[in-house]
């Protein structure tokens, strides 16, 4: 016969009561917190699943925040482009009005002033900021205005070709900025044109600048199209007479000079092959400016060209012919600009649709994650209450049994003889 020592009995009974009390405490904690598991140690396997679901829930919350921000930015861009379109249409109406053959040069100059004011409004809208204070049409360059006016009077794009974007689902991104160059600059021109730029290696300080340029003789220009040129500033020893700033115009495709050692005066037109450009400043020897033929013309250059024409063209027969050609080209270019802006608005509309779809997808996934989390973590109050009652009964019974049995004389006897 196996003898049961008093110390063993006390130890086993106490351990059982401790476990019963622990189970009771755990159930009370569940009812108090509403959670099945209050620490990872309660069930490590389920705790790992909970952590994974909570991570997914956090990511979905971020997606919803991104959708809200992106929706605001896309709406702001869309509204701004609508305002720009309305302004372009207003300018178009003024250009049509300027073609009235009964107008005097003074009348056209008054219209030119109105168009200039509208152009200033265009620049302001093209330099608009979004709800985060970022420039909308500068690509990645959101902290500086995308369009700035140089000393030569023309506007220069100083953004890039990037698009900021945010994740709205695990595999869907939507853009929140657009590069203005693709919307407002790369616009097909009715007539072939030029685009100008300064070499980044120029050393003059402050930098000399070149304006946007214009075509003064379309027929001559078309005869040489497509030809690209560079204006290179030479040592003063090459001028006639020596000692004067001078430049040469070189065809970059053939390497042959178009003009050589021409005396330079800041702000004076440099004209060749039907092209007129202006350089302002004091270029250093070796400074270079590029004049590239292009099938495109920017919106601001189109508007600036008509402003210049309305200010300078008289009522002479020759100027009237030039005026009608200018008006025809300007109207065509403005219509092309509206088409370019419309294409950008279509992109924005597609992105807005993507955010709407993403919101639906994210909401569905979020509901599924929330349901799964609730199933793993939320306590069933009815079941837990029943379990608590049973555990209280078990604990009370074990305590009463321990007290009753530990008081029996036989156990006392066995404890003194066998323990």
Confidence class for position 419, pLDDT limits 50, 70, 90: very low
Dist CA 178 CA 139 (whole Å):
5
Give the pLDDT confidence of 258-267 residue by residue, as tens digits: 999 999 999 8
**Residue 403: pLDDT above 80?**
no
Q: What angle do CA 309, 312, 313 make, to 5 degrees?
A: 75
Compute the average pLDDT of residues 122-142: 94
Dist CA 344 CA 131 (whole Å):
19
CATH of the domain spanning 43-187+297-378, picked from 1.10.3720.10, 1.20.1260.10, 1.20.1330.10, 1.20.1290.10: 1.20.1330.10
Provide CB contacts within 8 A for 68, sequence distance 6+: none
Biggest CA pair distance of the chain: 139
Q: How far apart are the first and last CA of the chain?
A: 15
Give the pLDDT confidence of 73-117 residue by residue, as tens digits: 999 999 999 999 999 999 999 999 999 989 999 999 999 999 999
**Residue 13: pLDDT above 80?**
no
- What CA dihedral angle connects 255, 256, 261 and 263, to 10 degrees? -90
Q: Domain limits of the chain?
A: 1-34+381-419, 43-187+297-378, 194-296
Q: What is the pTM of this model?
A: 0.72
**Residue 244: pLDDT above 60?**
yes
**Residue 339: pLDDT above 50?**
yes
Dist CA 85 CA 75 (whole Å):
15
* Sign of torsion over alpha carbons 277, 281, 282, 288: negative
Higher pLDDT among residues 153 and 353, named by residue: 353
- Decide if 234 contacts 245 (C-beta within 8 A): no
pLDDT at 40: 57
pLDDT at 416: 52
**Residue 45: pLDDT above 60?**
no
Burial 228-264 (b: 16+ CB within 10 A, else e): ebbbbbbeeeebeeeebbbbbbbbeeeeeebbebbeb
Dist CA 16 CA 230 (whole Å):
96
Dist CA 398 CA 254 (whole Å):
106
pLDDT at 406: 63
* Sign of torsion over alpha carbons 204, 206, 207, 211: negative
* Sign of torsion over alpha carbons 179, 184, 189, 193: negative
């Amino acid at each position: 016969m196996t003898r049961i020592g008093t110390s063993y009995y006390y130890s086993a009974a106490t351990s059982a009561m401790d476990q019963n009390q622990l189970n009771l405490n755990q159930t009370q904690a569940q009812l108090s917190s509403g959670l099945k598991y209050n620490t990872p140690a309660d069930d490590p396997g389920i705790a790992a699943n909970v952590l994974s679901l909570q991570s997914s829930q956090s990511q979905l919350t971020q997606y919803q925040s991104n959708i809200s921000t992106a929706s605001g930015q896309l709406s702001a861009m869309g509204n701004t482009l609508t305002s720009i379109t309305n302004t372009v249409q207003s300018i178009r109406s003024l250009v049509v009005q300027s073609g009235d053959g009964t107008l005097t040069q003074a009348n056209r100059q008054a219209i030119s002033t109105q168009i200039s004011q509208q152009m200033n409004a265009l620049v302001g809208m093209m330099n608009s900021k979004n709800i985060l204070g970022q420039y909308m049409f500068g690509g990645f360059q959101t902290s500086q205005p995308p369009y700035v006016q140089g000393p030569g009077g023309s506007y220069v794009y100083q953004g890039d070709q990037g698009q900021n974007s945010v994740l709205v689902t695990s595999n869907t991104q939507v853009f929140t900025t657009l590069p203005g160059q693709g919307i407002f600059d790369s616009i097909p021109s009715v007539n072939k044109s030029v685009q100008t730029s300064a070499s980044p290696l120029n050393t003059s300080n402050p930098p000399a600048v070149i304006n946007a340029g214009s075509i003064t003789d379309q027929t001559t220009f078309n005869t040489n199209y497509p030809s690209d040129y560079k204006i290179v500033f030479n040592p003063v020893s090459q001028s006639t007479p020596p000692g004067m700033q001078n430049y040469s115009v070189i065809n970059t495709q053939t390497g042959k000079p178009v003009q050589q050692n021409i005396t330079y005066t800041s702000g004076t037109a440099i004209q060749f092959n039907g092209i007129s450009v202006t350089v302002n400043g004091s270029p250093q020897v070796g400074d270079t400016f590029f004049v590239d033929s292009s099938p495109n013309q920017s919106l601001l250059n189109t508007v600036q060209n008509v402003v210049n024409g309305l200010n300078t063209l008289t009522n002479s027969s020759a100027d009237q012919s030039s005026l009608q050609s200018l008006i025809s080209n300007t109207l065509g270019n403005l219509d092309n600009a509206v088409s370019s802006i419309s294409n950008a608005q279509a992109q924005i509309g597609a992105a807005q649709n993507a955010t709407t779809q993403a919101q639906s997808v994210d909401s569905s996934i979020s509901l599924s994650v929330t349901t799964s989390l609730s199933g793993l973590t939320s306590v069933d109050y009815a079941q837990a209450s029943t379990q608590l009652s049973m555990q209280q009964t078990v604990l009370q019974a074990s305590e009463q049994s321990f007290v009753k049995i530990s008081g029996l004389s036989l156990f006392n006897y066995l404890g003194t003889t066998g323990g």
